[in-house]
A and B are shown apart, each in its own frame.
Chain A
Amino acid sequence: DAGVIQSPRHEVTEMGQEVTLRCKPISGHNSLFWYRQTMMRGLELLIYFNNNVPIDDSGMPEDRFSAKMPNASFSTLKIQPSEPRDSAVYFCASSSTHYEQYFGPGTRLTVT
């Protein structure tokens, strides 16, 4: 079975550019989570959705970050404009239960 799919796997962009990260959750899962991982701050939850509805976005760093989930099989995380401090690995995870989350392979973002 396919796990959580993320694209792209690597993204290098210049400061000021718009970045869009994509995620396809596991079919049948009704919860989707976006995380950011850095050496300094570890793994941080940015936002999560239940049944395509954003439930908690308190982890979103600032207005430059936005996330959408137009349907049950697709979500995007957008950064506009991007800054060097946004460089990190971004993970998407999905879940069909309250607890066990399945993580994707991540997108490594580098902003120069």
Chain B
Amino acid sequence: GESVGLHLPTLSVQEGDNSIINCAYSNSASDYFIWYKQESGKGPQFIIDIRSNMDKRQGQRVTVLLNKTVKHLSLQIAATQPGDSAVYFCAETGEWGAQKLVFGQGTRLTINP
């Protein structure tokens, strides 16, 4: 079946460095992608989204890149801070329609002081 997966389950970076979290998706029909951040003991929190008709979108310290040719999604976090330590999930709408999100397995990002 269709799936959303992540290349790396864990990632450690030094505080102040930039980080890149990657995600591979398999459903070419997906038209919307979202990145969520989940801190320990909390629910996932929306970070940034991108539609399939775009290849880049920027937020505050975050940038999402979409490469539909290779079905790849990435989240770039600039100048990482200790508060960025969390598990990051990508999600796609999948073939069942816009409201039903399919989540990836998640990547744990650790910011080292």
Contact status B43-A105, CB under 8 Å: yes
Contact status A100-B46, CB under 8 Å: yes
**Cross-interface CB contact of A93 among B43, B93, B96, cutoff 8 Å:** B43
Question: With A48-B100, A93-B43, A105-B43 given, is the CB distance from A99 to B34 under 8 Å?
Answer: yes
Question: With A43-B103, A45-B100 given, is the CB distance from A99 to B93 under 8 Å?
Answer: yes
7 shortest A-B CB distances, which residue pairs? A103-B43, A98-B98, A43-B103, A103-B44, A42-B105, A91-B43, A106-B43
Contact status B44-A55, CB under 8 Å: no
User: Can you list 8 A-B contacts with CB-CB less than 8 angstroms, sorted by A residue number?
Assistant: A43-B89, A43-B106, A55-B99, A56-B100, A93-B43, A99-B49, A100-B49, A104-B43
Q: Count chain B residues whose beta carbon lies closer than 8 angstroms to a beta carbon of A.
A: 22
Q: Which residues of B contact A74 (CB under 8 A)?
A: none
Binding site for A on B (CB under 8 A): 32, 34, 36, 41-46, 49, 89, 93, 96, 98-106
Binding site for B on A (CB under 8 A): 4, 31, 42-45, 48, 50, 55-56, 91, 93, 95, 98-106
- Dominant secondary structure of chain B at its interface with chain A: loop
- Dominant secondary structure of chain A at its interface with chain B: strand
Q: How far is the CA of A4 from the CA of B106 in the complex (A)?
A: 22
Chain B residue nearest to A100 in the complex (CB): B46
Q: How far is the CB of A63 from chain B (nearest CB, A)?
A: 21
Q: How far is the CA of A22 from the CA of B44 in the complex (A)?
A: 18
Most chain B beta-carbon neighbours within 10 Å: one of A43, A101, A104: A43
Question: With A50-B99, A99-B34, A100-B49 given, is the CB distance from A105 to B42 under 8 Å?
Answer: yes
